[in-house]
Amino acid sequence: MDQRREKKLKLILYLTKLDWSSLKISNYLNKKNIKTFRGLKWTPKLVWVNRDKYLKRLKRYDQTEVTYIKEKLFVVKDTPIFEDLNG
């Protein structure tokens, strides 16, 4: 996946975890002049669809990339939110 795309998706997921609605997220992204993957403005539906697809992808990834350590403990990696989303 393109790094710029993933940064935008992580930002959308982060804002969702802060209980922001799709409308509020789309308004925020448009106000910050962060374009969609095709260079358009964000809509609430587009935010929702992309967030849903990204969450499904993460779930698939988690199911296949689980790392076991001694005694069946899991390693959890932190994922930072990136600031430069257009570059």
What's the rounded Cα separation, in Å, for the pair 21 and 47? 9
Ordered DSSP codes for 33-72: T---TTS----HHHHHHHHHHHHHHHHHHHHH---B-GGG
pLDDT (0 to 100) of residue 51:
94
Please list, in sequence order, all residues whose beta carbon lies within 8 angstroms of the beta carbon of residue 61, skipping any fewer than 6 positions away: none
For the segment 24-81, what is each residue's pLDDT rounded down to a tens digit? Answer: 999 999 999 999 989 999 999 999 999 999 988 888 766 554 454 444 544 455 544 5
- Residues 3-29: what's their mean pLDDT? 93
Single-letter amino acid, residue 66:
V
